Structure 1
C-alpha cells in the first residue's frame, strides 16, 4: 500500500475498532419475565384422586392414558396429516427465517459490479449531438470491482431486532405446539363422544326390542279381550318414539365421524369408523402444582415469548435516536481502453466511514418509541390474562370431574331403581293389576335414566380431556427451540415438522 493511503487506512481501522467496542452496548430495557400471581395449590385439587407415584407427570403421548388403540392410531394421524398443523409449521419456518434475516445484518454486505459504457459529446450550431466525424467525441469506459459496506451495531439496534425475532420464533414454535395439542384434544373429545353414542345406540336398539315385545304383549291381550284398544295404541306410540330416537342418534354420530376425518386430514366421504363397544377408561390425571402450569402450557409460553419480543422492540425504537455509522470500502479497475483495463495503473480504491444522524423528524421517533412501549404493556397484559385463563380452565375441569363423579354415583343408583321398577310394573301389567300407562311411564323413566348416565359418562370423559389440555398435555417449555437452534435453519425446520411424537 502506498504511504499516502496509510492515514485513511488507519482511520478506517480506528473507526472499526471503536464500532466493535460500542457494539457491545444495546439501548432499551433488558427483558425480565413479567410477574404473575400464582396460587400455592389448585382449590379443586384437595379432593382430587391423584395418580400413583409412578405416574406423577403426563407423558408426551398423553392420549394413551385412555388405553384405546384406535384412539392412539387416530391421534398419530392428526400429528402427521392435520392441515392446521401443516400451516402452523410453515408459519414457524417463516419466523425462523426472519431470525436468519436479522442476524445477517451483523455481517458486512459484499457486492461486485462490472460495466462497460460508450459515450459521446460535442454540439453543432443547432445544439444537436454529432458524431466524431463532424467534430464530436466518443469515449469508452470499463470498470470492474468489489465493494464492502458494514454498519456496526453501535446501539444494539441489530441485536435487539435479532432478540425480538428469536422470541417471536419461539412464540411461533409454542403456537405450533398449542395447535397440535388443540387438534389432539379435539379429536380425543370427538372420538370418545362417538363411542358414547355407540353405547347409546345399543341402549336405544335394546329399548326398541323391549318396546316391540311390550307392543306384541298388548296386541295379544287385546285380542283376548283383556285390555282396551288404547293400550295397544299407547304401546305402538312408545315403540315408534324409541325408533325415532334410535334413528336420530345417527345424525350426531355421522357429524362426529366427519369431524374426525377432517382432523386426520382425510375426506369425510372416504372415512368411516365402525361402531363398537366402549374401550376407553376414565384415567387418573396427575395435576401437579400451579407453578408448573407456566412451563407446561404452550399458549402461556407463547404469550410470554411475545412479551419478550415486544420488550426488544423498545430497544430497536430507542436506537433510532442515535447516529448510524457505516464503514465502506471499494476497489477495482477502471479504464477507457479494454486492452489496458485490468492493469495496475488503472487500479482504483476508496475507504471511509460515514456518520449519519437524524436531527429533526417531527416526533416520528418519539411516536415509534411510545408505540413500542405500549405494545410491550399490551403483551404483558395478554400474558397475564393467558395465565389467569390457564388457572381457570384447570379449576373448571377439576370441579367438573369432582362433581360429575358424585353425580355418576347417584345416577347409577337411579338406573338400578328404574330397571327394577320396569320389571315389577311389567309383571303387574301381565297379571292385570295395572294399566299400560304405568308400564309406559316406568319404561320412559328407565330410558331417560340410562341416557342420563351415558351423558354423564360423556361429560366426564370430555372434562378429563379438557383437563389434560388445560395442563398442557405432555408438553414442557424446555421443548422450545433455543437461540442456537434458531440460528441453524436446517435444524430448526427439521425440529418443526409435524410428525408423530
Structure 2
C-alpha cells in the first residue's frame, strides 16, 4: 500500500467514527424518553343537583345560558356602555394581559433550548511590543515591530434532550402560560362583576334618596300641621319638637346618603380609568329600581368545572406541577452537549487560506456522581408540589360550588324577602296615612303618628335595600357560574408561542390570542373621562 493510501485511511477512519457517533446521538436525542408521570385531570364525586333554590333550578344548558356580555340582561344602557368602556381602558385588566404576554415569552425562552445555539465572532488587532517587556533585548529592533492579528469564527452548541428535561420545561411553562390566560379571564370577570355591583348599589342609593325626598316632604307637612295645632291651642309644643326632630334626622340621613353615593361614583370612575373629579353619573329620581328581570340557568354541577376560569387556572397549575416531576427525574441521568466551532486566524491578512483554518468538534457528558441528596430532595419536593397543586385544585372546586350555592340561595331568598317587604311597605303607608288623619282630627296623639312615619320610612328603605341585595346576588351568581366563559376559550399549547423561530419583525408585542390583546393607546393616559362618557353623564331614562 502506498503511503498516500495509508494517510488517507488514517484520517478518514476517525472522521467516519465521529460522524457515526454524532448521527447516533442525534437519533437518540430525537427519540427521547419522557420521565414525567402520565397526567390526568382530577375527577370528583359531587351531589346531584343544586341545593339552593335560586332563580332557576337544576337544568340543562339552554337558550338562556349565560353569554359573555351577561350584563346586558339587566337592560340598562348606561351599564352596557360602562362595561364596554371598562374592558377597553381598565389598567388592571391591561396589566393582566401583559402578564400573559410575559408568560408566553418565558415559555418561548424555555423552548429555545431545543434548538442549536449558534454564535459568530470576529476580531482585528494591531499591536506594538514594548521595549520594557520581559526577555526583550533593547539592542535589537524588535520593539519597533508592529504585529497584527485577524480572525473570524463561528460556534454551535446543542444539548440533545434525551430525558425530555427541556421538553418538560417547555410544556410546564406553556401550562403556566395557559394558567395566566385563565387568570386574565378571572380578573376580567371580577372587574365586570365589580362594576355591575357598584352601579347597582349606586342606583339603590338613588332609590333610597328618592324615598328620603318623599319622606322629608311629608315630614315638613307634618311640622306645619303641628305648628298650626299649637298656634290654635289644640296641640302641644312637644308635638312640634317631635316633628322637627323627625324632619332634621331624615335630612341628616339623606346628606350621609349623598356622601355614600359620591364614594360609590368615585369607585366606578377608577374602574373606567377616569379621575373621579371628572366623572359623574346623573342620579335617577325614582323610588323603584328599573332593572330587567334576570333568570340565570346554573346547569349541571359537572359543567361548572368547565365554566370557571379560576378552576381552569388551578388545573393548569396542576398540569405544570406534573411536568416538574419529569424535570427532577431527568437530573439523575447524564446530560450530553454537542459543540463545534471553527474559523480562520492569521497574523496578516491571508484569511482565505485553508491552512489558516481551525476547528474543534466535541461531545461532553456530565453525570454528577455524588451530590449529598440534592437531586433526591428536588424530586421529593416536585412530588410534594404536585400533591399540593391537587389539594389547591380541590379547594378551588369546593369554593366554586360554595359560591354557586350561595348565589342560588341568596338570589332566591332575597326575591322572597322583596315580596314580603313590599307588603310591609303597603301596610306601613296605610298606617301612616290613618294615624296622621286621626291626629289631624284630634282623635289620636302625635306619638302614634310619629311612630307610623318612622315605620313607613324604614319599611320603604328596607324594600330598596332588599331589591339592591337581590340584584347584586344575581350578579354574584353570574360571576360564580363563570360569566359565560368556557374552558374552550383557553389558548392551546401551540398558540402560546409569541413568535416563530425565524421571526425578527413585529416583536413590539405578540399577536392577540384567545381574545387577550396587550395593547397601548394614547387614550389610556386620558383620565378626564370626556371620551366615551356621554351616555354616562346623560343619566338613565326609564
TM over 0.5: yes
Deviation at 1:132, TM superposition (A): 9.0
Contact 2:61–2:299 (Cα < 8 Å) also in 1:
no
Aligned positions of 1:222-301 closer than 5 A: 222-276=230-284, 277=286, 278-301=289-312
Give the 3 Å change call, closer, same or farther, for CA 122–262 of structure 1 in structure 2.
Answer: closer
Deviation at 1:122, TM superposition (A): 11
Deviation at 1:114, TM superposition (A): 1.4
Given candidates 10, 14, 22, the residue that maps to 1:7 is: 14
- Structure 1 counterpart of 2:28: 21
- Structure 1 counterpart of 2:161: 153
- Structure 1 counterpart of 2:227: 219
Aligned positions of 1:51-450 closer than 5 A: 55-117=63-125, 129=136, 133=140, 140-276=148-284, 277=286, 278-338=289-349, 340-450=350-460
* Aligned counterparts of 1:53 and 1:306: Cα–Cα separation in 2: 28
Deviation at 1:30, TM superposition (A): 2.4
- Structure 1 counterpart of 2:516: 496
* Aligned counterparts of 2:381 and 2:136: Cα–Cα separation in 1: 57
* Aligned counterparts of 2:266 and 2:401: Cα–Cα separation in 1: 32
Contact 1:303–1:386 (Cα < 8 Å) also in 2:
yes
Given candidates 482, 489, 495, the residue that maps to 1:479 is: 489
Contact 2:58–2:300 (Cα < 8 Å) also in 1:
no
- Structure 1 counterpart of 2:531: none
Give the 3 Å change call, closer, same or farther, for CA 204–52 of structure 1 in structure 2.
Answer: farther
Give the 3 Å change call, closer, same or farther, for CA 57–347 of structure 1 in structure 2.
Answer: same
Deviating more after overlay: 486-495 vs 289-298: 486-495
Cα RMSD, aligned residues only: 2.5
Aligned positions of 1:458-477 closer than 5 A: 458-477=468-487
Contact 1:19–1:153 (Cα < 8 Å) also in 2:
no
Give the 3 Å change call, closer, same or farther, for CA 54–471 of structure 1 in structure 2.
Answer: closer
* Aligned counterparts of 1:53 and 1:87: Cα–Cα separation in 2: 33
3-state SS in 2 of match to 1:300: helix
Give the 3 Å change call, closer, same or farther, for CA 357–130 of structure 1 in structure 2.
Answer: farther
Deviation at 1:55, TM superposition (A): 3.0
Give the 3 Å change call, closer, same or farther, for CA 122–224 of structure 1 in structure 2.
Answer: closer
Give the 3 Å change call, closer, same or farther, for CA 344–47 of structure 1 in structure 2.
Answer: closer
Deviation at 1:14, TM superposition (A): 3.4
**Structure 1 residues without counterparts, runs of 5 or longer:** none
Contact 1:110–1:146 (Cα < 8 Å) also in 2:
yes
- Structure 1 counterpart of 2:504: none
* Aligned counterparts of 1:463 and 1:409: Cα–Cα separation in 2: 16
Deviation at 1:11, TM superposition (A): 2.3
* Aligned counterparts of 1:13 and 1:325: Cα–Cα separation in 2: 16
3-state SS in 2 of match to 1:491: coil
Contact 1:99–1:165 (Cα < 8 Å) also in 2:
yes
- Structure 1 counterpart of 2:5: none
Give the 3 Å change call, closer, same or farther, for CA 88–131 of structure 1 in structure 2.
Answer: farther
Question: How many pairs does the alignment contain?
Answer: 496
Deviating more after overlay: 15-24 vs 115-124: 115-124
Give the 3 Å change call, closer, same or farther, for CA 341–245 of structure 1 in structure 2.
Answer: same
* Aligned counterparts of 2:150 and 2:138: Cα–Cα separation in 1: 21
Give the 3 Å change call, closer, same or farther, for CA 348–328 of structure 1 in structure 2.
Answer: same
Deviation at 1:336, TM superposition (A): 2.3
Name whichever structure is richer in helix by fraction: 1
Task: Tell me the TM-score normalized by structure 1.
Answer: 0.93
- Structure 2 counterpart of 1:451: 461
Give the 3 Å change call, closer, same or farther, for CA 204–51 of structure 1 in structure 2.
Answer: farther
Deviation at 1:290, TM superposition (A): 0.8
* Aligned counterparts of 2:207 and 2:139: Cα–Cα separation in 1: 100
3-state SS in 2 of match to 1:44: coil
3-state SS in 1 of match to 2:262: helix
